[in-house]
Amino acid sequence: MKGLIVSAPASGSGKTTVTLGLIAALRARGLVVQPFKSGPDYIDPAFHRAAAGRESFNLDSWAMGRAQIAHLIGAADGADIALAEGSMGLFDGVARAGGCGNGASADIAALTGWPVLLVMDCKGQAQSAAAVALGFREMRRDVPLAGVVLNRVASARHEALMRQAFDQLAIPVLGVLPREAGIELPERHLGLVQAQEHAALGALLTAAGAAAARHLDLDAIVAAAAGGIAAEPFRPLPPPADRIALAQDDAFSFVYPHLLAGWRAAGATILPFSPLADQAPDDSAGACWLPGGYPELHAGRLAAADRFRDGLRRFAETRPVHGECGGYMAMGAGLVDAQGTRHEMAGLLGLETSYAQRRMHLGYRRAEPLAGLYRQPLAGHEFHYATILAQPDEPLARVADANGDAVPETGSRRGPATGSFFHLIGAAP
């Protein structure tokens, strides 16, 4: 599948805006667009899915090997073009390489041969933007640069000055977005507001598509798509049970689509339920999975959801229940919200967490489970602001960061109940 990587020199340059606009504009032309996201992220792929009408899969050069990346790209067949949104800056990753790279979007570009469409925030600079792009073109010769999209351009004169500089370097300018394009996305402490929470998502995607059609050279961008990667044999992680009760609502939505696809491909049935709607896990399930999300924003409702908490406790008497990050906190004894109010959680574990004094925990993780649903080494990541007040149960795993240094967030286990701040990506490559 031919494709492009939509990347940038830094976060906040407009990658998501350009990616969504391109998806919407190309889809309006009748093209089938397959979206991807480089690196660990839940928020952007949900917007991709809404724009493309197809699931967006994460591609991660630290947490995945070449075979898994090729498998995910090959499984998303039937598309005319792939668009992969990068993370942070194009070359940004960790210090020590993992599966097939250090997590940088440039690794995915080199592996797939997909050229980079570089989105540049041009506020406060003119010809200097061309010098930045030149450095990105020369940094790694195995990472082809398709061209640039100039974002937040102030005037026609501003554009003319930059175009002249880019022409001298033979770097194609494939689009120019004016400063008043007006298609920015709202944010909160873990990134963008979730797609399903966006009241005017359809209108925003329509506006993004119209802006892309008006300001980007869609013909040249489609023509610049190239590359592809041959499929390789790969076996995803097996499902934790034949029937899996999966919490899914605004408080629990962070589960990677490739994990669910792998479980379904192995014959598992996914049984969604909503804790916020006070629903208990399906009693026919053999395991219950509580994903991450934003339980801290809904702690009062979760504390009042007696049917959910009682049903979860009964389920855990005979079958495994696992929580990731937000799900882990909901399985704990209590959660203190940002205003300092403590809310009682399910009590399957002794974990106590607080958002009254926030501290960021961020980065890749490698886990060696001591118990639980999976026993082989696992690759994943941690991303939350919660402070642990108490974690009295037995540790779930030995956990290390990308440098191999041990981290104290080991997770917890108590009988068949397990939980961790670790977001699972897959088996460690």
Q: Which positions are annotated as active-site residues? A: 325
Q: How far is CA 404 from CA 41, 91, 94, 178, 365, in A?
A: 22, 21, 12, 44, 9
Helix (H, G, I), strand (E, B) or coil at 111: helix
Is 1 strand, coil or helix?
coil
At residue 139, the 3 state secondary structure works out as helix
343 vs 155: CA distance, rounded Å: 52
Running DSSP on this structure, what letter comes out for residue 406? B
Is the Cβ–Cβ distance between 281 and 324 less than 8 Å? no
Rounded to whole angstroms, the Cα distance separating 193 from 185 reads 8
Amino acid occupying residue 216? L
At how many degrees (to 10) do helices 43-52 and 15-28 cross? 20
Q: HSE-up of 292 (CA within 13 Å, CB side)?
A: 23
- Judged by DSSP in three states, 420 sits in strand
Three-class SS state of 381: strand
